[in-house]
Homo-oligomer: A and B are copies of this chain.
Amino acid sequence: MSESSSRPVDLTLSCPAPLQDDARVLLAHGGGGRLMHRLIERCFAQTFRNPALDLRHDGAFLPLPSGTRLAFTTDSYVVRPLFFPGGDIGSLAVNGTVNDLAMCAARPLALSAGFILEEGFATHDLRRITASMQSAAAAVPVPIVTGDTKVVERGKGDGVFINTAGVGIVAEGVDVAPTQVRAGDAILVSGDIGRHGVAVLAAREGLAFATTVESDCAPLVAPVFALIEAGVSPSCLRDLTRGGLASALVEIAESARVAIEIDEAAVAVTEAVAAACEILGFDPFYLANEGCFVAFVRPELAARAIERLREMDGCRQASLIGHVRETGPAAVTVRTRYGGRRVLDMLSGEQLPRIC
């Protein structure tokens, strides 16, 4: 799906050979798909090996001697353009990291913020971005308690890159991880998909659709804790960022070694996003989201979970999209609207660079 056609074909895109010594980083290595996973496995995961990292979750769990479990996560943000309908790099940098904590069933305790500024960047844009960060942080709420600023020469950066890291406290008695996923689990999606991807693409390319699509950028702490407090302890949570719903499901299926089946018709996509996808040739299953997550829950809890989610802001479209069929070879199958079946894989190329 959606391999970049405007870039020279690189052998590493199509060939699953090991990284060669003369290999170079491609844009697709940052795309959330197969190549990124390979880079992470070979350059980072094998080198840094430890039990927390080996879980391959959105964040790491750190047990403290007191019995408290911390969640710890980080993301860098390089989105282009910096401002887009529904958000900007600042709100994204807060919500993205807050959501990785939420996906660990953790309530955010504090964020850090590291800025890499390009010489010549307008300070009024920087102030607009920090104001947006503060407003996003206050909405969670979570304080931004520590930070760092670096400046690189003109032409060695791109305005501003932001890294945020987050520390949170994991809800007691909740154990979310791909390894907790079991045959029979119901798979819920918290809302309609694809809005962030379309919003950023439209802003970047100056595309005007009949309806302006706004990013879904929003914090997911409240819906996750609404589930937990309603007695629904999910086996796994994952926000649908780079690589979208498809990549999240494939990642979880591979980590949990399960087969997953979902219904295309059960996945909410707004008319505006569907129309944009048709015009641009994108598949909404692979588009990035910044306020949408998938939850795996025991089947008997699915109805309660959906009911509770639909009471929450941003989750009115929550739906049951499928089930974990069995353990065994990892696979994600979609029953299409027309009665057919297709198998989802991670992106093998690059769909939309610098989406977050």
Q: For residues 77 through 130 of chain A, which have their beta carbon under 8 Å from a beta carbon of chain B? A: 77-78, 109-110, 112-124, 126-127, 130
Assembled-state Cα–Cα distance A30/B47 (Å): 31
Q: Is the CB of B24 within 8 A of A145?
A: no
Q: With A24-B121, A60-B110, A165-B165 as known contacts, state yes or no: A152 contacts B158, CB within 8 Å.
A: yes
Q: Is the CB of A144 within 8 A of B50?
A: yes
Binds B, one of A61-69, A304-312, A329-337: A61-69
Assembled-state Cα–Cα distance A155/B157 (Å): 8
Q: Which of B59, B113, B169 contacts A146 (CB 8 A)?
A: B59
Binds B, one of A38-46, A196-204, A263-271, A277-285: A38-46
Assembled-state Cα–Cα distance A76/B150 (Å): 7
Q: Is the CB of B152 within 8 A of A78?
A: yes
Query: Is A134 close to B, CB under 8 A?
Result: yes
Q: Is the CB of A112 within 8 A of B74?
A: yes
Residues of B within 8 A of A28 (CB): 151
Q: Is the CB of B36 within 8 A of A149?
A: yes
Assembled-state Cα–Cα distance A60/B109 (Å): 12
User: Within the oligomer, what is the number of copies of this chain?
Assistant: 2
Q: Which of B29, B47, B115, B165 contacts A127 (CB 8 A)?
A: B47
Q: Mark A296-324, 1 if CB is under 8 A from B, else 0.
A: 00000000000000000000000000000
Binds B, one of A15-23, A180-188, A223-231: A15-23
Q: With A76-B150, A158-B156 as known contacts, state yes or no: A19 contacts B133, CB within 8 Å.
A: no
Q: Is the CB of B354 within 8 A of A152?
A: yes
* A195 CB → nearest B CB, Å: 21
Assembled-state Cα–Cα distance A165/B167 (Å): 10
Q: Is the CB of A145 within 8 A of B353?
A: no
Q: Is the CB of A151 within 8 A of B353?
A: yes
Q: Is the CB of B73 within 8 A of A112?
A: yes
* A128 CB → nearest B CB, Å: 10
Q: Which residues of A contact B (CB under 8 A)?
A: 19-31, 36, 39-40, 42-44, 47-48, 50, 52-53, 59-60, 62, 64-68, 70, 72-78, 109-110, 112-124, 126-127, 130-131, 133-134, 137, 143-153, 155-158, 161, 163, 165, 167, 169, 353-354
Instruction: Give the 8 A-B CB pairs with smallest separation, nearest first.
Output: A30-B151, A165-B165, A66-B66, A60-B145, A74-B112, A163-B163, A52-B145, A50-B143
